[in-house]
Structures are given as structure tokens and as C-alpha cells.
Chains A and B, each alone.
Chain A
Amino acid sequence: AQKVTQAQTEISVVEKEDVTLDCVYETRDTTYYLFWYKQPPSGELVFLIRRNSFDEQNEISGRYSWNFQKSTSSFNFTITASQVVDSAVYFCALLRGGNNDMRFGAGTRLTVKP
């Protein structure tokens, strides 16, 4: 079975604070892909990052960084110096290799207060 768990339902921070969103996944496959999407109030899911199971290199993109650890089945997302525009629901998702059913976590609602 494959499953994605985002234990943090809601997080509230003050602008300029750093915040980490947790994602833990379960799969028996050796080939899989992990994703993070942002969903602002408008509803559209905005693609942020994709990692495959063979690449454990951490990635940084501006204020965003991702920590992929296969040993703990985690793919955590950190926003540095958060801004009000970062307020949204963030989803972690898992796609098995050769499969078409992307499994999403329940999402973490991030509120950044000015």
C-alpha cells in the first residue's frame, strides 16, 4: 500500500520566521516520485518540486528547500524567512513508478501573519 501522512494540519507563523512542513510516506516500491504542491485560496494546485527515489540530494530554490531522507521515509519542506504570500495549503504527494495514481497527503494549512 502507498500512503502519505502530513501530521501537521495547521501551522501559524509570523512573517520572517522559518517553517518546516513534514511529510512521511509509505511505499514498498523501489522506484517512486515525491512531489510538493501549493494550493492558494484560488484552488489551483501549483507544482513546487519533484524528486525521484534514486536522488536523495537536498534541493534549494530561493527561500524554499527540501530534505529527502529515504531512511526515515520523509520528504520535508522548509520555507526560510516566510512571507504573507506563502499562506496556502501545501500538499505532499507520492507517485509509484509505472503507476498513474498519485496519492496526496491531507495537506498542511500554513498561515503567515504580518
Chain B
Amino acid sequence: DAGVTQSPTHLIKTRGQHVTLRCSPISGHKSVSWYQQVLGQGPQFIFQYYEKEERGRGNFPDRFSARQFPNYSSELNVNALLLGDSALYLCASRMGLSTDTQYFGPGTRLTVL
């Protein structure tokens, strides 16, 4: 079975631009979460979506937004990019809402110049 997939693998943007990252969950999983992992640190929770509704939000500015589609895939959007947004963005899926085990995708490495 296919795992969590993310696209693109790498992305280079300049300050002020916006970016859209995409994630497809494991088949049968209805929940998608997004994490930001800055180099040398552990992942930090950004959003969780379940059944197309936002179910949780971490401590990130409004420049970060996301949505989930009827097929349970998800997009993470970041506007007005800052240098500090450079990171590995990880998507994770799980079957249910909260305590099921999360499985992570390979991530999208975003570099902001």
C-alpha cells in the first residue's frame, strides 16, 4: 500500500512569495496534519484537518493556511514568505481524529531566499 505522499520534494522561493504544498494521505485515512521542522529541531504542529474541517491549529501566524479536499488530500499554503519559513514541511495522516498513530510523508523542503 502507498504511504503518505507529498509534492513537491524541494522548493525554492524568494521572500514575499507564496507557496502551496500538497499531501495525499494513506488510503482510508481521513485525518491529515501538517508539521514544520526547522533544521536541528523536532517537528512543530501547524494544522490538523479531519473530514475537511480544521480540528487543530498550532502557534503559527495567519500567513499559514490549509484545506482538505473530499478525497482527503490536503494543501498547506504559506503567504508572504519569510526567511524563517525555510524548513522541512511534513504531512502526516491517520485514520481517525486524535489518538490513532500518525504516519508521515517524506516532506517538502522549502528554501526561502
Contacts and interface: CB of A to CB of B under 8 A. Distances in A.
Interface of A: 4, 33, 35, 37, 42-47, 50, 52, 91, 93, 95, 97-107
Nearest to A32: B99
9 contacts: A42-B106, A43-B88, A45-B104, A47-B101, A50-B101, A91-B42, A102-B35, A106-B40, A107-B42
A106 B42 contact: yes
Contacts of B56: 99-101
Contact of B106 (A43, A99, A101, A103): A43
A109 B6 CA distance: 25
B30 interface: no
Contacts of A97: 98-99
Contact size range, B: 20 to 34
B48 A37 contact: no
Nearest to A37: B104
B112 to A, nearest CB: 18
B33 to A, nearest CB: 7
B88 A100 contact: no
B105 A100 contact: no
A1 to B, nearest CB: 13
Q: Which of A47, A98, A100, A102 has the most CB of B within 10 A?
A: A100
A36 to B, nearest CB: 11
B45 interface: yes
Given A43-B107, A44-B107, A101 B43 contact: no
A103 B99 CA distance: 13
A42 B55 CA distance: 29
Given A47-B103, A91-B43, A102-B35, 8 more contacts: A4-B42, A35-B101, A44-B107, A47-B101, A50-B101, A100-B48, A104-B42, A106-B40
A12 B56 CA distance: 38
